[in-house]
Structure 1
């Protein structure tokens, strides 16, 4: 028989073991409630004619058939891919360059600059969109006002589709740069300085050190940055909605804006859910391709 003291000791030893399990269970419950169940419901609605009220009647693949015949869907898809192809590489380059400069021992005022560069990540995308809208408004924007001071005619930042998209691209890079820069900064600090010292002794230039040492050692971080940036760009909504609403008209509608407009403005929940399923599958394919390339590069 165990004594009361031994029994208390056993119960005391169980508490540290149960704590991680309890946190895991809570996380799983929240994940199921806020991700798995809504996702499953969205997939179900994709095969129905649900309009937000009433019954959801099963219609099979009709939403998908109609979706693939919708020119607005293809326009939104092409704009989304265009936005992603532009934003991800430029955002990667700007973030890596900023992190490299801020971690360089020759950079003066790196601490203050790091705080300034990190501020965009703290700003809500809605607020950031409003700020950029004030900057690039056609009749009230700061940029056009400054251009008028030097005799330049106002630029159609909002009514020209390509210029409107370019503003969104710059705003997207500005907003997403801070987090990627933070990841690169941490990775750069973990590279042993002895590698660069040895390369300098061998006569390697700064550019050669960057291409032969820095970039290869940043491969895991680069993969993570590119993957997260791609997913974020494909799902961009709040920034564009606040900046120009996908305008002019619907010419700059990205996929999430198309889904929002279809589901909430036209009350076609089933049809919008079908578009969401397509976007989810597209993201899974892109993530799978990136992971495949990353694994292939590890064995080179």
Structure 2
């Protein structure tokens, strides 16, 4: 079956070649032109499936300049496929200026479903998925990083982030400061690849896991963080609050909260949130 002329958004595997779809292979095989983030990387993928299409590089530095030529190819009746290095194009990858230009020019855009690291990690995180926020990569500089995380401290939706091996511990440390060390989170490392690991813990626990063995900090990461939950309005026993104040003078808040919660059969988060409130007085 012949395909209509259009720009096709084609997801590619994020690690395991077996995750490519039959439809993706059909579109890439039929394409007159394949726009790729890194042609050398993409040629290896195409060779694995014996796809011989013409490759053009399309990245953040040349995307606006090349959009016009790509649109002309589609308007001339050709099939153009857009791929990124891995996963679904435009999700923290190039493609937005091209897509906008196609829409403005009246060029058809046909998206294909397929691999996406953010959705794959979210599906296994064990956190609410009915509402979530994709935040992509956070700023690299410390000041901007902390400002952005501070802005998200009261975000109630589950949050999904991408992070690099060089910055993952620093990002988690900033999150413990602004979200609280006991905020529930999942770290997905090298999804679908040989050294895949999905670790469910709180933010402090994830830092401990990464620092226990330095090689754990290698690879690509997706971080899924629970959204903010307002403190339980149920009052704590008066004695519990008094003992919490005393223990906070001797112990870190997390440990003090755990002791009080165990003593009075309370939720640890409820006691921890009270401790944060007391610290802020």
Give 1 or 2: higher strand fraction. Answer: 2
Same fold (TM over 0.5): no
TM bucket normalised to smaller: under 0.3
Which structure's relative contact order is higher, taking Cα pairs within 8 Å and 6+ residues apart?
A: 1
Which structure has the larger Rg? 1
TM-score by length of 2: 0.19
Give 1 or 2: higher helix fraction. Answer: 1
